[in-house]
Amino acid sequence: MRLINIYQKILINQDLCIQCLKCIRSCPAEILVKEDDILKQQKGSITIINPERCFECRACEIVCPVLAISVICAVDSISAP
């Protein structure tokens, strides 16, 4: 498994992401965005702004149809194979 974006609490596996944008629409804190909206890149990816505003509601994780998002709650460190 390749993890591209690892933020404070949110892991997004870009290999799985199909860019349906459901996570963006589901986030009450409005901190998930498409990267190309910021960087004007041709290939978009989901990224997070102001990660400190995430309150671990897990809405993004639940709504993702391909299980590309994991919300890490109350964990100091993470590892991936």
Which residues here bind ligand SF4, judged by CB under 6 A? 10, 12, 17-23, 26-29, 31-32, 46, 54-60, 63-64, 66, 68-69, 71
Nearer to ligand SF4, 55 or 80 (CB): 55
CB of 38 to ligand SF4, least distance (A): 15
How many CA atoms lie within 13 Å of 20's alpha carbon, on the beta-carbon side?
A: 14
Q: Nearer Cβ to ligand SF4, position 26 or 36?
A: 26
